[in-house]
Structure 1
Amino acid sequence: MKITQANFVISAVKPEQYPEDALPEIALAGRSNVGKSSLINRMIMRKNLARTSSQPGKTQQLNYYRVNDMVYFVDFPGYGYAKVSKKQREQFGQMIETYLRTREPLKLQLLVIDSRHEPTGDDVLMYGWLKHYGIPTCIVCTKADKIPRSKWDKHVKAIKQKLEADPADPVVLFSSETGMGRDQLWDVIMNAISHERESQETSL
């Protein structure tokens, strides 16, 4: 995927703040510091458009990034960060649930998991939530450069088993450092967008 244009658009908290141009949206969920911002930057080939931070819990809204006037990446607040208050966690949960239940332009959810570790309880809950709402999901296993190549398959298998992953959901091993998995993930995203278009044309 050649990126000709990418920019940050808005930080939204409630539906009336979401963009209204009906471009397809690809949302990213994952625990704090799992590498969502770094993934976005690698996907759009920009170093610091999505601001990365060593401080977990920094993203507190739905951050919209518009790419090639074709698609939005929507970055969710990270979950599972202990220093975020209980009230904030509840607010994040309500904000994300509202988005997932009501957002028609959402075409694909990326569930971002650190490939070095088994999914957390929060990861399992989020995956179950996505399946409950019938949202197309891709599991992205980040930081693949941090584990030996000989152990990639083992780690991916462990992640799929812990999530009880649907065999139909694509799994992409990804590294923001090396770019591994970028082309594969763009293929998954474009397939999700084109599949939606085909479904709409068939129903007309």
Structure 2
Amino acid sequence: MSTPQDSPVARLNYPTAKFVISAPTLATCPDDTGAEVAFAGRSNAGKSSAINALTQQNGLARTSRTPGRTQLINFFSVMNDEARRLVDLPGYGYAKVPEAVKIEWQQHLSDYLRGRFSLRGLVLLMDVRHPLTEFDQMMLSYADQRNMPVHILLTKADKLKKGPASASLQKVRSRLKEWEDLVSVQLFSSLKRQGVDTLSQKLDQWLHTPPEDTSGH
């Protein structure tokens, strides 16, 4: 059992994030040490834009005109420390690629989420107008199997007025009530930088978390 050493958690400087490596499979990922947080979402959920807003770097996570084109797991170090990483998982479910490619990527995604010991939490991005798609529920299922915390960003919140955006937030929270001990939800807009500070505080908690012994489950 571990007890928190520092309270409140020290803030990490996400604009220092730097690209480390791209990996096609779990076997080619960096050493499984330290702590990392992965970002996942359908290809049109605004994942790259969210990472760029967090790090204040417009080109860190590449946004593609053809959603889903990037099929690699991209690693970024934080504060020049490769023991703390942000991980950009490829967008899924939107790209016009053969079914066999989708199945192969789904296997790599499953391998990463189930087998990566240094993974502290998952940031799952959903378009606030279309939350809880089949992909989103698949990702929640992976996280549930590992008892891993998930922080949901309801992205593109600027596309809705305040009332409908709040209603969508409450609807998602209500539907995920059984997972409320592991799942948190917030509104987010990369364009307006809405929710960036809330996201960074969540990441601070996860990236400062010491590793736990998961061998005995």
Tell me the equivalent position of 1:54.
65
SS in 2 for 1:58: coil
Distance change (3 Å), C-alpha of 1:39 and 1:184: same
Give unpaired runs (5+ residues) of structure 2: 1-11
The amino acid that maps onto 2:124 is: L
User: After the TM superposition, which residues 158-169 of structure 1 pair with which residues of structure 2 at under 5 Å, given as runs?
Assistant: 158-163=171-176, 166-168=179-181, 169=183
Tell me the equivalent position of 2:28.
17
Are the equivalent residues in 2 in contact too, given 1:6–1:67 (CA < 8 A)? yes
Distance change (3 Å), C-alpha of 1:90 and 1:198: closer
CA apart distance, 1:30: 0.9
User: Within 1, Cα distance between the matches of 2:211 and 2:120?
Assistant: 13
Tell me the equivalent position of 2:9.
none
Normalising by structure 1, what TM-score? 0.88
The amino acid that maps onto 2:204 is: M
1:31 aligns with 2:37: no
What root-mean-square deviation, in Å, do the aligned CA atoms of Structure 1 and Structure 2 show?
Answer: 2.0
User: Within 2, Cα distance between the matches of 1:127 and 1:143?
Assistant: 20
Tell me the equivalent position of 1:124.
137
The amino acid that maps onto 2:39 is: L
Distance change (3 Å), C-alpha of 1:109 and 1:198: closer
User: Within 2, Cα distance between the matches of 1:79 and 1:11?
Assistant: 17
Give unpaired runs (5+ residues) of structure 1: none
User: Within 1, Cα distance between the matches of 2:34 and 2:191?
Assistant: 29
The amino acid that maps onto 1:191 is: Q
Are the equivalent residues in 2 in contact too, given 1:37–1:52 (CA < 8 A)? yes
Q: Per-residue CA shift, 1:74-114, capped at 9, x if unaligned?
A: 11121212512111111111111111111111011011111
The amino acid that maps onto 1:40 is: I
Identity across matched positions, percent: 36
Q: 2:186 aligns with which of 159, 162, 172?
A: 172
CA apart distance, 1:178: 1.2
Q: 1:94 aligns with which of 107, 125, 132?
A: 107
State how many pairs are aligned.
Answer: 199
Are the equivalent residues in 1 in contact too, given 2:127–2:154 (CA < 8 A)? yes
Distance change (3 Å), C-alpha of 1:165 and 1:92: farther
Tell me the equivalent position of 2:76.
65
